Structure 1
Amino acid sequence: MGGHLLAGEFARRTRLSAKALRLYAEQGLLVPARVDAVTGYRWYAAAQVGRARLIALLRRAGMPLARVRDVVDLPAAQRRAAVARWWAGVEDDVRDRRTLVALLTRGDEEDADVHEVELRDVPEQKLLTREARLTVEELDGFIRDAAAEIDGHLARSGATPAGRLRVVYHGTVTEDGDGPVEVARPFSGSVEPAGELRIRLQRAGREAVTCLSRRQAEFPGILGAYDAVGAWVDAQGLTRAGSPAEVYLTDRDDDPDAPHVEVTWPVG
């Protein structure tokens, strides 16, 4: 047939196996242009070679079929951006797994990070906050979006940020636990609540605090900081008087060994 290739020749041109071609046909990703009703021979259009090679490249890169389906028909520029976003997620996942493997393979003789804890006074502050119940998969996106929403509302209101971004964990956040989590920014000036943004007054008090670099703050290492702060509070004969929080000092992309985040716990 003019302009058409039998499945075997099509497979050779695209470096796809017969099994892969059948799977992609069943998934609707790469459907033969014609199937002979008598012989069952499958014919592909020559114009499908480019699409088949693209699917093959995406699969060899490790992209799941469901994601390939979303990406393959996008215009070239949008497809490149979608692939870049997917790969950034893969690298984040590999980084997290590398940290876990390092923890699991570390010998008993290798000391964990030592966290120095101190007590500090916290002034009375007005906070603009947003709170949500969510699981760990949604946490990073929520913090990022809530911080942008809070800072944008402060700017539009003519108010001034008066301190570091604070993420308060009022409950456990895991694959099963859903918090709640509160993102908060101290501010000065006048602001009205809007949408899901609320204003809360933080009373003056004291909190135990330890500072971590970005490297130390990678999960699950940050859990050791919470343990250290809690143990220090108990050892000092103090009481845990509220929910623990993380106070962000720098962006994630800064020097991995520079001070990045504080883990704090209010005490009474």
Structure 2
Amino acid sequence: MGGDLLRAGEFQRRTRLSAKALRLYAEQGLLVPDAVDPWSGHRGYAAGQVERARLIAALRRAGMPLARVREVVDLEPGARRSAVARWWDGVEEDLRRRRTWVGALTVEPDDGEEDDVYEVALREVREQTVLTAERRLTVDELEDFITTAAEEIDAHLTRSGAAPAGPLRVVYHGMVTEDGDGPVEVVRPFSGRVEPAGELRIRLQPGGREAVTCLTRGQAEFPGILGAYDAVGAWVDAHGLERAGSPAEVYVGDRDVDPDEPHVEVAWPVR
């Protein structure tokens, strides 16, 4: 091993990283020793690796996952600062969502304040041909997928000379959380002739009955919309009905409508 290399102990003193951290970063390919003695196994680091080690440590102290550290550590300073800022924006959005969850779980009920009352009713739905996009994803990816899939579906209908024949539905075939990945299906009824393309598929949406409640945009804000799912489920049980499929959100109003205007229905197929 060359005499100009720093032995592991000296490198640890300069970087204040533990032997465990150095081993982990080496295994991850983030901070590989410049040389390893084949007989003794002693590791040697170049002096230039000290600054890299300190950068990795700083990113980790900020809470950046190792996979993301690997993406940003070799960027030029300006690009790295931008990448760190984008990552932190995502962290703050995640914290905002978690804060909302915790608030819903810890708020004390106010005896003087009435809870949201959801009017649930049965309605008949007819059989329809629909164009869909389906994906397994976690909650962090959900909003972008819905927006992108809806745009792709409507654009494909336009290119095909077909037309939407009903509001957009987002069907939740499974729970979507940080751990549960759905799947989620974005569905648009249409009229005309369309061929499948890429991830877009055509299927027949069966007719039947569904229990449904309509929410204003204000009521649909998370976590309020969760109460609507609970209300529809409780109504189905109380009326002796059986769930016959996956629940869906049916978008009957634009996102930018007034908070008191109808925005989304929560619908559950029943029999």
Select which of 111, 114, 117 maps to 2:116: 114
Give 2:55's aligned residue. 54
Q: 2: CA distance between counterparts of 1:106 and 1:6? A: 55
Q: Is the 8 Å Cα contact of residues 121 and 207 (structure 1) preserved in structure 2?
A: no
Structure 1, 119-128 or 61-70: larger mean CA deviation: 119-128
The answer as to 2:182 corresponding to 1:187 is no
Q: 2: CA distance between counterparts of 1:151 and 1:103? A: 35
SS of the equivalent of 1:155 reads helix
Give 1:17's aligned residue. 17
SS of the equivalent of 1:193 reads coil
The answer as to 2:167 corresponding to 1:164 is yes
Gaps of at least 5 residues in structure 1 are none
SS of the equivalent of 1:46 reads coil
Q: Is the 8 Å Cα contact of residues 146 and 183 (structure 1) preserved in structure 2?
A: yes
Give 1:147's aligned residue. 150
Structure 1, 89-98 or 71-80: larger mean CA deviation: 71-80
Question: How many angstroms does 1:60 deviate by?
Answer: 1.8
Structure 1, 178-187 or 2-11: larger mean CA deviation: 2-11
Per the alignment, do residues 112 and 49 of structure 1 end up closer, same or farther by CA in structure 2, a change over 3 Å counting? farther
Question: How many angstroms does 1:109 deviate by?
Answer: 3.6
Q: 2: CA distance between counterparts of 1:154 and 1:217? A: 29
Q: 2: CA distance between counterparts of 1:61 and 1:255? A: 39
Question: How many angstroms does 1:225 deviate by?
Answer: 0.6
Q: 2: CA distance between counterparts of 1:9 and 1:152? A: 61
Q: Is the 8 Å Cα contact of residues 210 and 229 (structure 1) preserved in structure 2?
A: no
Deviations 1:11-60 (CA, angstroms, capped at 9, x unpaired): 5665x434444543454321233457899875533332442233123212
Per the alignment, do residues 21 and 257 of structure 1 end up closer, same or farther by CA in structure 2, a change over 3 Å counting? farther
Identity of aligned residues (%): 58
> Which residue identity lines up with residue 52 of structure 1 in the other structure?
A
Matches within 5 A, 1:209-228: 209-213=213-217, 216-219=220-223, 221-228=224-231
Q: 2: CA distance between counterparts of 1:250 and 1:24? A: 48
SS of the equivalent of 2:70 reads helix
Question: How many angstroms does 1:156 deviate by?
Answer: 1.9
Structure 1, 5-14 or 107-116: larger mean CA deviation: 5-14
SS of the equivalent of 1:57 reads helix
SS of the equivalent of 2:32 reads coil
Select which of 174, 194, 204 maps to 1:200: 204
TM-score when scaled to structure 1? Answer: 0.69
Per the alignment, do residues 69 and 156 of structure 1 end up closer, same or farther by CA in structure 2, a change over 3 Å counting? same
Gaps of at least 5 residues in structure 2 are none
Q: Is the 8 Å Cα contact of residues 135 and 173 (structure 1) preserved in structure 2?
A: no
Deviations 1:177-202 (CA, angstroms, capped at 9, x unpaired): 77664321133443233454104356
Structure 1, 227-236 or 146-155: larger mean CA deviation: 227-236
Q: 1: CA distance between counterparts of 2:258 and 2:81? A: 29
SS of the equivalent of 1:154 reads helix
Q: 1: CA distance between counterparts of 2:133 and 2:42? A: 60
> Which residue identity lines up with residue 192 of structure 1 in the other structure?
E
Q: 2: CA distance between counterparts of 1:242 and 1:36? A: 63
Give 2:34's aligned residue. 33
Per the alignment, do residues 229 and 35 of structure 1 end up closer, same or farther by CA in structure 2, a change over 3 Å counting? closer
Per the alignment, do residues 179 and 7 of structure 1 end up closer, same or farther by CA in structure 2, a change over 3 Å counting? closer
CA RMSD of aligned residues (A): 4.5
Structure 1, 121-130 or 180-189: larger mean CA deviation: 121-130
> Which residue identity lines up with residue 52 of structure 2 in the other structure?
R
SS of the equivalent of 1:17 reads coil
Give 1:262's aligned residue. 265
Matches within 5 A, 1:125-136: 126-131=129-134, 134=136, 136=138
SS of the equivalent of 2:101 reads helix
SS of the equivalent of 1:32 reads coil
Deviations 1:211-267 (CA, angstroms, capped at 9, x unpaired): 154675425x4332112124445667888676431023445xx69957653312356
Q: 2: CA distance between counterparts of 1:87 and 1:241? A: 42
> Which residue identity lines up with residue 202 of structure 2 in the other structure?
R
> Which residue identity lines up with residue 45 of structure 2 in the other structure?
Y
Q: 1: CA distance between counterparts of 2:47 and 2:219? A: 51
